Amino acid sequence: MSDNTKIPHIKSVETRHLEERESMFRSLQNLDRRSFLKVSTGAAAAALAAGASNHFHSFLPVNVAYAAEGPAGQGFSFAYISDSHLYAKKTNERFVRQLLRAVDDINKIDPQPDFVFYGGDLAQLGRKEELDLGAQILKSVKAPLHMMVGEHDWYFDMGQHWNELFGPQTYSFDHKGVHFVVLMSVQEKDFWTARGMSPAERMHTVAGLDNAVQSAFEVGAPQREWLRKDLEKVPTSTPLIVFSHSPLYKLYRPWNFWTDDAEDVQAILQRFERVTVLHGHTHQVLTNRIGNIQFHGMLSTAWPWPYAPQGLPSLTVQMNRPNPFDPNDGLGDGTINVHPDGLVDMLYNLWNRNPMQVKASYLSSGGKSDAPVAPTLASY
Residues binding other proteins (CB under 8 A) = 1-3, 5-8, 10, 12-15, 17-18, 20-21, 24, 33, 37, 40, 44, 47, 52, 54-56, 58-62, 89, 93-94, 96-97, 100-101, 103-105, 107-108, 133, 136-137, 140, 325-329, 331, 351-355, 380
**In this structure, which long-range contacts are made by residues 48-56, counting pairs with CB atoms below 8 Å and at least 24 apart in sequence?**
53/111, 54/110, 55/109, 55/335, 55/347, 56/108, 56/109, 56/110
72's CB contacts (< 8 A; 6+ apart) are 177, 178, 237, 238, 239, 340, 341, 342
- Chain center to CA of 84: 13
Minimum distance from CB of 326 to other proteins (Å)? 4
Task: Tell whether the torsion through CA atoms of 151, 156, 160 and 164 is positive or negative.
Answer: negative
Task: Tell whether the torsion through CA atoms of 253, 259, 262 and 266 is positive or negative.
Answer: negative
Minimum distance from CB of 191 to other proteins (Å)? 35
- Residues counted in the chain: 380
Minimum distance from CB of 279 to other proteins (Å)? 24
CA-closest candidate to residue 76, choices 61, 65, 87:
65
Minimum distance from CB of 240 to other proteins (Å)? 30
Minimum distance from CB of 376 to other proteins (Å)? 9
User: Closest CB to other proteins among 140 and 237?
Assistant: 140
| DSSP designation for 203 | H
94's CB contacts (< 8 A; 6+ apart) are 327
User: Closest CB to other proteins among 164 and 326?
Assistant: 326
User: Closest CB to other proteins among 37 and 213?
Assistant: 37
User: Closest CB to other proteins among 230 and 370?
Assistant: 370
Question: Cα(151)–Cα(157) distance, rounded to whole angstroms?
Answer: 11
How many degrees, rounded to 5, is the angle at CA 238 between CA 232 and CA 244? 75
Phi-psi region of 222 (alpha: psi -120 to 50; beta: other; left: phi over 0): alpha
User: Closest CB to other proteins among 138 and 293?
Assistant: 138
Helix (H, G, I), strand (E, B) or coil at 261: coil
Minimum distance from CB of 52 to other proteins (Å)? 6
Minimum distance from CB of 7 to other proteins (Å)? 4
User: Closest CB to other proteins among 142 and 195?
Assistant: 142
Question: Cα(22)–Cα(17) distance, rounded to whole angstroms?
Answer: 9
User: Closest CB to other proteins among 251 and 356?
Assistant: 356
User: Closest CB to other proteins among 295 and 348?
Assistant: 348
Minimum distance from CB of 294 to other proteins (Å)? 25
